[in-house]
């Protein structure tokens, strides 16, 4: 891994752990094992490396969604695949975005915010396709997006906590529901909503 890639990979971990405000370039450089001059050779500022990390994160997610959707035949299959991809994200990637959203997104340029919104556009296309096919009645993209993201993000972020909670409370937090069962329930709930059932 070259120095630039090492900076990006380490920065992704540190921003996920501490958020934008909690990261200092000198501490980040030390953690990577480089000096600040080397950091600034590759990136002009903390904001630039942060945006680079976010852009890469979103582009990888977009690419995975597009790859999965390309082999689906129906809107229902596409919606299920979209949900699968959202559940397969790494905790670090979810934390990275959620921390920034909680902070108001002030550290992101308008271009990056628009790039993030492209994930919603993928979902909108699926819902519109489902309406054309005649299977979907509700195409409230914002509601469906918030619902999917809210549930998947919380599930991913709370994984460590829920395991600890379950151990202390004999499975009371998630009632010993497996991830597969949980994903299936979410898919059925979302499909029932968009089908107007």
Domains of the chain (ranges, CATH numbers): 3-195 (1.10.357.10)
Q: How far apart are CA 56 and CA 3, in angstroms?
A: 16
What spatial distance separates the first Cα and last Cα of the chain, rounded to whole Å? 51
Looking at residue 12, its pLDDT comes to: 95
Residue 18 to residues 2, 21, 98, 179, 186: CA-CA distances in angstroms? 24, 7, 12, 27, 30
Mean pLDDT over residues 25-35, rounded? 94
Mean pLDDT of the chain: 90
Q: What angle do CA 23, 24, 28 make, to 5 degrees?
A: 85
pLDDT at residue 158 in the model = 81
Report d(CA 148, CA 157) in Å as an integer.
14
What is the Cα–Cα distance from 11 to 16, expressed in whole angstroms? Answer: 8
In this prediction, residue 171 carries a pLDDT of 56
How high is the pLDDT of residue 174?
Answer: 57
pLDDT, position 116: 86
- How many Å apart are CA 106 and CA 102, to the nearest integer? 10
Q: What span, in angstroms and rounded, lies between the C-alpha atoms of 52 and 46?
A: 10
46 closest CA partner among 16, 17, 15:
15
- The percent of residues above 70 in pLDDT, for the chain, comes to 92
**81 within 8 A of 68, measured Cβ to Cβ:** yes
Q: What is the pLDDT of residues 129-154, one digit of tens each?
A: 999 999 999 889 999 999 999 999 98
Distance (Å, whole) CA 110 – CA 108: 7
The pLDDT tens digits for 73-109 are 999 999 999 999 999 999 999 998 888 888 888 888 8
Is the model's pLDDT at 61 over the cut of 90? yes
């Amino acid at each position: 891994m070259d120095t630039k890639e090492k900076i990006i990979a380490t920065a992704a971990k540190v921003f996920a752990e501490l958020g934008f405000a909690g990261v200092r370039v000198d501490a980040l450089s030390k953690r990577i094992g480089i000096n600040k001059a080397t950091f600034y050779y590759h990136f002009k500022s903390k904001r630039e490396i942060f945006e680079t990390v976010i852009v890469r994160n979103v582009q990888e997610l977009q690419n995975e969604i597009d790859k999965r959707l390309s082999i689906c035949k129906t809107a229902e299959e596409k919606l299920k695949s979209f949900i699968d991809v959202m559940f397969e994200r790494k905790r670090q990637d979810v934390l990275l975005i959620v921390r920034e959203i909680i902070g108001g997104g002030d550290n992101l340029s308008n271009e990056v915010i628009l790039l993030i919104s492209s994930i919603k556009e993928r979902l909108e296309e699926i819902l519109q396709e489902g309406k054309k096919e005649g299977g979907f009645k509700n195409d409230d993209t914002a509601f469906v997006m918030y619902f999917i993201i809210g549930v998947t993000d919380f599930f991913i972020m709370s994984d460590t906590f829920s395991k600890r909670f379950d151990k202390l409370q004999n499975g009371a937090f998630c009632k010993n529901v497996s991830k597969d069962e949980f994903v299936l329930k979410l898919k059925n709930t979302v499909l029932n909503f968009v089908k107007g059932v």
